[in-house]
A and B are shown apart, each in its own frame.
Chain A
Amino acid sequence: MTRNNKLVITAFLLPASILLIVFMIIPFFMAFGLSFTNQRLIPTPRGTQLIGLTNYLRLFNDRLFWTGLKNNFIFVLIVVPLQTAFALGLALLVNIKLKLSKFFRTVYFMPTVTTMVVVSVIWTFLYYPEGLINGFLSSITGGLWSGVDFLKNTAWAFPAIMFMSIWQGVGFQMLIFLAGLQEIPASFYEAAEIDGASSYQKFLYITFPQLKNTTTFVLISTTILAFRLFSQVYVMTNGGPRYSTYTVMLHIYNTAFKRLNIGYGSALTVVFFLIILIISLVQRGLLGEEREVD
């Protein structure tokens, strides 16, 4: 390699390297460091001290953190399987060769390019006691359904946000599944047809196993998105009523930004990151093993 090339490589790498180091790598490690201090966002006369594991001990007794974490897990356990299954169903439907397939595909992905803040605003209106969702439920049950103020009701607020999140996000996973479906060689299906396989058998023995990698990816990425839950709960309920829609990200935001407590916010961040990391590793491990069995 000539010296000239070394110079070229350095020049090409430099801008991205500096930016990634300053705005990603340093903050990432800083979060660990800051979590052992009582750092404030605005400097105080007392300055910043090392306080050992105090922040982590506090976290154990922080009921709001546990409420948020519990809600995040509930969200993941309900939304991830439902959304993944729904996305797969949509992809299968749109994959049927029909004249208007492309049109329907387009309509289904429209919510995914609509910003979450806007989606939250529209759905707040739809969820009003006299709103569209209540009107619809009342008309299909023949008036048996009496209106619910979805976002002000502790039992309904979180399911309402989950439903809306699926509406917004499912089109994206549908497109990922669609790409996976289109990669399955047509010859597989032709061979199965010669053997007299039913559509159900074709799905079970060809489509589903062939989509394993795609499904793994969709499950992991949807789980991580679910843990990052923030915009919709902030806009629609701000964690309420009575913390029924509170999440870890909302807690981090309130701690670090509202209460200016960077030290404790960093400890929360570290735990948040470790949870995401462990879950994605476990998920990958579990799904990876299944792949080897096949």
Chain B
Amino acid sequence: MVIKKRKKIFTYIILSLLAFFFFYPLLYMVMTSFNPDEMSILKNMASIRAFLPGKIGLQNYFDVFTRMPFGRFLFNSVFIVSSTIVIGLVVNSMAAFALARFTWKGRGIILAVVIALMIIPFEAIAVPLLLITNRLGWLDSYKVQIIPFIANPFYIFLLYQFFTRFPQELEEAAIIDGAGWFKIYWKLALPLSKPILSSVAILHFLMQWGSFLWPKMVTRGPEFRPLTVAMQVFFGQYPRHWGDIMAFAAMMTIPVLVLFILLQNAYVNTVARSGIK
């Protein structure tokens, strides 16, 4: 019993040290963002006083809004990410439905193509895509950040796997009731697929929200710039004002962290799913 208890305490110590390691930089960001005194930020960056600033205030947060159109960047990111996810869910699930619930000539080939496309990383098509969107005159727009990222072979495949597990009787019953295919898809398949739809939405969110390389190449002015690029541009301006930088970082991070802590079971299942081949 004593050994068991000792082992438990030891495990807790290790777990806590690791928690400290993972959480500390994020906590550091938040604490620094509340320190309005840039001198004290720079002076105490390695000491415990970084956590006990003399003054606490929201000055850095106000500064972020006055020094740049932060609201605009936030709107851009939210708009780009949410429209990609919503349209993506419809488009990808429709394709998956056709692949999973019908038998037709050429189905095997299309499925093989979808699986083959999963190997292509975005970086392998970024250069020609830059040329195409340039020629289409799409630079500096929302559509250049949304439309190419709607259809995704991996999400089609995940949804396909889920749809194939529905029993045949479901559709037969619906057809007898006189429901058309679109109705079966919309009223029957989608409501039954909430777990997989939320997984796909989560993966799509992480991909689009953190997207940096592409928006860096296709946005030049602040008008259509998402948060990631805005953060990097602000970070690149000298002299750096760390209080403001950390306030920007915190505003970009905290809502997402809260969201994922609330939805953590869905997130854990999603990652597990992405690991099943």
A residues bordering B, Cβ < 8 Å?
1, 5-6, 8-9, 12-13, 15-17, 19-20, 23-28, 30-31, 34, 39, 41, 90, 93-94, 96, 98, 100, 104-111, 113-119, 121-126, 128, 130-132, 134-136, 167, 171-172, 175-176, 178-180, 213-214, 217-218, 224, 228, 230-231, 234-235, 249, 252-253, 256-257, 262, 265-266, 268-269, 272-273, 276-277, 280
Contacts and interface: CB of A to CB of B under 8 A. Distances in A.
Contacts of A122: 25-26, 28-29, 246, 249
Interface of B: 8, 11-12, 14-15, 18-19, 21-23, 25-26, 28-29, 32, 42, 45-47, 50, 90-92, 94-95, 97-99, 102-104, 110, 117, 119-121, 123-132, 134, 147-148, 150-151, 153, 156, 181-182, 185, 206, 209-210, 212-213, 216-217, 227-228, 231-232, 235, 242, 245-246, 249, 252-253, 256-257, 260-261, 264, 267-268, 271-272, 274-277
A100 B15 contact: yes
Contacts of A130: 42, 45-46
A93 B21 CA distance: 15
B119 A277 contact: yes
A276 B25 contact: no
Given A108-B22, A272-B124, A257 B130 contact: yes
A280 B206 CA distance: 23
A16 B91 contact: yes
A114 B217 contact: no
Contact of B26 (A111, A117, A135): A111
A81 B191 CA distance: 41
10 contacts: A5-B181, A25-B117, A28-B120, A31-B125, A93-B15, A113-B260, A122-B249, A167-B21, A179-B276, A266-B127
Nearest to A220: B277
Nearest to B245: A121
